[in-house]
Structure 1
Amino acid sequence: MDISIKEIMDCIVNPVKSQIILTIQKKGECTAKDILSSQNDIPQATLYRTLNRLVDGGILKIVAENKVRAVTEKVYALNESFLNVNQSIIEQNDGEAYFKLFTNFMIVLMKEFQNYAEKPSINIVKDVSGFSATPIYATGEEMIEIGNKFKEIIAPYQTRNTSVKGQNMRILATIITPPNDK
């Protein structure tokens, strides 16, 4: 099943979808009960509705169904095609598909930012919102090193710590532009 770029981008910026995907990615396979126990801020009805949408969209697959009393409990895993979509575009060196993926990424980000900016209760300083661009000089190897360090820094913040008061889901987006030839 081909997964649309729009569906992929929606998973990245939708807080509930991204929490579910991160939980399943971390554990490998999960039941809805497993997800609820680690992401207790997602209402049960929302979780089941979102799981169904993720399966319908080809993001998740059902890898097992276990009979628990009178109920069938589904076990979910990430679909390989979802995990490999970016890698496939890169391996094929498909500039057009890469640009479409980037364009959708920007559109979804802009929509999220617009939703925030239109809220009547906006407080840019208190909400710790911002954006910046910083030119750096680096080789390809140095960029990989920077990316690995960045992953290491943000890893502890990719799952919710329920013991930390005021911790809210945010979207941290990064863009690495191709080398400037000028």
Structure 2
Amino acid sequence: MEVSMKEIMDCIVNPVKSQIILSIQKEGECTAKDLLSSLNDIPQATLYRTLNRLVDSGILDIVAENKVRAVTEKVYALNKSFLNVNQSIIEQNDGEAYFKLFTNFIMLLMKEFQNYAEKPSINIAKDVSGFSAVPVYATGEEMLEIGNKFKEIIAPYQTRNTAIKEQNMRILATIITPPNDK
């Protein structure tokens, strides 16, 4: 099922849908029970209602159904076409959709920082938190090369090594701005 741009934008601006989608994207596949334990600020009825809407709209697929006692537990995954939303926006060259996608990206990062900053005891240096911006002079081809090298560097760190207790999941975000004409 092809996902409409309207459905994609709705997911981007809806905080409950965004949280569900990010959790499923992170895990690959999730049950409602998995989501309830990781998204404890979403009421159960809201979660189930939203999951049904995401399946109906084609954002989520039910990839398995497990019989657990007398109940059938559904396993959810993101629809392949939804996973390619960035590519779809690029192909359509849709500036408005691209800006909305970027805005949601920034809002989610801001929420992560807010959650961290509101903790009763933080240690910015010890927690290795930070952000920076660096000017880069490069062609489009060179930017792709930089991106590929960056992917190579972080690939080993994108899955948890259970032997290392100190490893914590962090969000490493990148933003490449369009060329500055000045």
Judge conservation of contact 1:55–1:62 (CA < 8 Å) in 2: no
What is the CA distance between 1:95 and its match in structure 2? 0.8
Deviates more, 1:56-65 or 1:160-169: 56-65
Match of 1:91 in 2: 91
Give the aligned partner of residue 138 of structure 2: 138
Equivalent-residue separation in structure 2 for 1:170 and 1:10 (angstroms): 21
Greater Cα shift, 168-177 or 80-89: 80-89
Q: Which residue of 2 aligns with 1:57?
A: 54
The question of whether the paired residues in 1 share the 8 Å contact of 2:24 and 2:77 is answered with no
* 1:123-179 deviations in Å (ceiling 9; x for gaps): 100110000000011111111111111112212222222211111111111100001
How large is the RMSD of aligned CA atoms in angstroms?
3.2
Structure 1 unpaired stretches of 5+:
25-29, 33-41
Q: Is the 8 A contact 2:24 2:76 kept in 1?
A: no
Amino acid at match of 2:37: T
Residue in 2 that maps onto 1:46: 37
Runs of 4+ residues over 6 Å off in structure 1:
48-51
Separation of aligned partners in 2, 1:149 and 1:74: 38
Give the 3-state SS of the residue equivalent to 1:63 in structure 2.
strand
Q: Distance in 2 between matches of 1:151 and 1:44?
A: 28
Which residue number corresponds to residue 13 of structure 2?
Answer: 6
Structure 2 residue identity aligned to 1:21: Q
- Give the match for residue 164 of structure 2: 164
* C-alpha distance in 2 between matches for 1:179 and 1:57: 36
Moved more, 60-69 or 131-140: 60-69
168-177 vs 98-107, which moves further: 98-107
- CA shift in 2, pair 1:173/1:7, >3 Å: farther
State how far apart, in whole Å, the 1-side matches of 2:64 and 2:97 are. 33
Runs of 5+ in structure 2 lacking a partner? Answer: none
Match of 2:25 in 1: 21
2:179 corresponds to 1:175: no
Post-superposition CA distance 1:96-116 (Å, at most 9, x none): 111111112112211221221
Count of aligned pairs between the two proteins: 165
In structure 2, relative to structure 1, the CA distance for the partners of 1:154 and 1:10 (3 Å cut) is: farther
Q: Aligned pair in 2 of structure 1 residues 159, 20: CA closer, same or farther (>3 Å)?
A: farther
Q: Give the alignment's TM-score, normalised by structure 1.
A: 0.73
| Percent of pairs with identical residues | 72
Q: Could you tell me which amino acid in structure 2 is paired with residue 133 of structure 1?
A: A
CA contact (8 A) 1:22 1:158 kept: no
- Is the CA contact (8 Å cut-off) linking 1:61 and 1:77 kept in structure 2? yes
Shift of 1:18: 4.2
Give the number of the structure with larger relative contact order, counting CA–CA contacts within 8 Å between residues 6 or more apart.
1
TM-score, scaled relative to structure 2: 0.73
